[in-house]
Amino acid sequence: MSDTQPADAQQQAPLTVHAQYIKDLSFENPRSPHSLMEQGQPQLGLNVLVKTRQLEGSTYEVALVIEADAKTDKGEVVFVLELVYGGVFTLGQIPQEAVGPMLLIECPRLLFPFARAVVANATREAGFPPLQIAPVDFAALYRQQLEQSGPQVGTA
């Protein structure tokens, strides 16, 4: 018996990751170098979205959109970060009702640690302490989307 799986067994996997990548990254530090010398803790804002796009058949692009900003207590912008971190996934033979959870929960769960590292590195390289995003509950985001708009695949 060999250690390799037949091609049809690999196609039966519920999820195959083909690629992951930075699709878009923007960092603005409009008040530098003054923003790097200020004392005090800025107020952070963070927004995480999940977007999906069918490429062909059962292959999808899933993108984590992370928007983070920091402002002084006077409302002045310290920095603005926007990241779109994507992955290409193929779904195996799964029930239709599992497609949404797979694309909007499992795929982002796989992408998140890498996107989180990009955010931390970008803020550190800009001269700020690394922004460590807390883990995101993608299942809760998915449930929230279902309550708001119904079970449509697209954006969570």
**Which pLDDT score is estimated for 14?**
87
**Average confidence score pLDDT of the chain:** 88
Domain 15-131 sits in which CATH superfamily?
SecB-like (3.10.420.10)
Q: Residue 103: what pLDDT?
A: 95
Confidence class of residue 10 from pLDDT cuts 50, 70 and 90?
very low
Residue 34's pLDDT is 81
Percentage of the chain beyond pLDDT 70 is: 88
136-141 long-range contacts, CB within 8 A, separation 24+ = 136/48, 136/108, 136/112, 138/50, 138/104, 138/105, 138/106, 138/108, 138/109, 138/112, 139/101, 139/105, 141/48, 141/50, 141/104
Percent of the chain topping pLDDT 90: 67
Q: What is the mean pLDDT of residues 79-107?
A: 95
pLDDT of residue 38: 76
pTM: 0.83
Counting every residue written for the chain, the total comes to 156
Domain spans of the chain, in order of start: 15-131
Residue 136 Ramachandran class (φ > 0 left, ψ -120 to 50 alpha, else beta)? beta
